[in-house]
Structure 1
């Protein structure tokens, strides 16, 4: 019988769709990258999610985030994403965590319940902690490296972090992961040299802040604000989602699918 995921099943097969239906994916960071990853995952038939983000939709998110519209400005991103995902698949089991993941609150998350972790957060400390927690729990993880200040979406690729070059964030991550005993980390990264923003937007934010009332983390807290586009962060999120789907179904996909 035809259903919402019939076209995907034509490529992956019924066992793969069952595996996705019973998988739980934790998405840390529901922004330009994480939002599109969620979109692709729920449209692919993943059945359960944890969405982690304490931020609210800001007017400046409209240029790149799939959940950002004039109607959603001021709403919690995780709530907006959950509602959108339930419109796509009402049977999805979605848990929302309105908080910012930090090493200090890592114990609050049920890592052992996750089948996959998708890291789309911005801070190095959170990324490092997620990699450490994933390794300890034996859960696969994929992490987004720098997408800000990039213009060429065709330069992004998936590999172990040991193979990265050029990307400043990946350079820091490699060094710090080694200190923590994490030898491998699947990442999406680009070898494009970051473009320098034409002006320091932090000054505008500092004196003309338009962050939604009650926002826990404001742009005025950031030392620098990267430039972004509508066409780069989505590519990163979609690449990450595709890799998650491939890994979750690797053992049950029909022969010939996704070689």
Structure 2
């Protein structure tokens, strides 16, 4: 990028200055998961000047995604999410280098799978599955790659309860509780997360008396979470906010389950 910045970056330039925009253009960010949180995060990163994006997701667009996902329209139902998102990124910034893969990551293969891509400056975890989130945290810790993990936005109503913190300090978030316990078992410390301390609403029960498996999601909550994640990364990679590489290793506190 030269000193002749495109007009689309003019408002960013007033805040980030030339150095910040150059830093972002040279940065590589990997986003795992293109649901309501991840898809919003990626679009904000693209609009924010990040020049290299790696996006991974295994799914195709479904009608039920339309209420909250940036890739979801009636015209995109049935299409691969990473393909739709790649087109959207290129429409925002034609010069952005995008690697998009429809890939199914498991806890056994996640390290090997991610190692094949260019080393990112930051990874954003927008995955739904606990085992994959933990495997990713373990791998980032071992590879010394900074990770920011979303604890989800389902079953939440009030965006003012979103906050960034280390997993050890989270409260009132069911997913954070599970991740917190398992991080202790594995010796993973200071996993930085975006979570909500809003008390979860009572779940409706199915006819058999069990809790409903599909969590409710408001149209605005996942996108707000995604924008917040992107904002944190943009501030840090532009040089406006200092940060530490986390998570880090510590002695396991509890015996791991086999």
TM-score (norm 2): 0.85
Report the equivalent of 1:75: 79
CA distance in 1, matches of 2:66, 2:132: 25
Q: CA deviation at 1:249?
A: 2.0
CA distance in 2, matches of 1:63, 1:27: 21
User: Unmatched 5+ residue regions in structure 1?
Assistant: 202-222, 254-259
Task: Return the match for 2:178 from 172, 176, 182.
Answer: 172
- CA deviations 1:126-169 (Å, max 9, x no partner) are 11011111111111111011311111111101111111101011
Q: CA 1:177–1:112 in 2, change beyond 3 Å: closer, same or farther?
A: farther
Report the equivalent of 2:229: 240
CA distance in 2, matches of 1:179, 1:63: 37
Report the equivalent of 2:255: none
RMSD of equivalent CA atoms? 1.9
Moved >3 Å (runs of 4+): 196-201
The count of residues paired between Structure 1 and Structure 2 equals 232
CA distance in 2, matches of 1:69, 1:14: 36
SS at match of 2:189: coil
2:44 paired with 1:44: no
Does the CA-based 8 Å contact 2:105-2:113 persist in structure 1? no
SS at match of 2:75: coil
CA distance in 2, matches of 1:157, 1:252: 16
- CA deviations 1:182-228 (Å, max 9, x no partner) are 11111101111112344659xxxxxxxxxxxxxxxxxxxxx811000
SS at match of 1:246: helix
CA distance in 1, matches of 2:205, 2:34: 26
TM-score (norm 1): 0.85
2:69 paired with 1:57: no
Report the equivalent of 1:109: 114
Task: Return the match for 1:137 from 135, 143, 155.
Answer: 143
CA distance in 2, matches of 1:141, 1:8: 24
- CA deviations 1:23-43 (Å, max 9, x no partner) are 111100001000000010000
2:233 paired with 1:229: no
SS at match of 2:233: helix
Q: CA deviation at 1:248?
A: 1.1
Q: CA 1:150–1:10 in 2, change beyond 3 Å: closer, same or farther?
A: same
CA distance in 2, matches of 1:197, 1:9: 45
Report the equivalent of 2:190: 184
Task: Return the match for 2:28 from 13, 20, 24.
Answer: 24
Q: CA 1:169–1:33 in 2, change beyond 3 Å: closer, same or farther?
A: same
- CA deviations 1:62-88 (Å, max 9, x no partner) are 011111000000001111011100000
Task: Return the match for 1:119 from 102, 121, 125.
Answer: 125
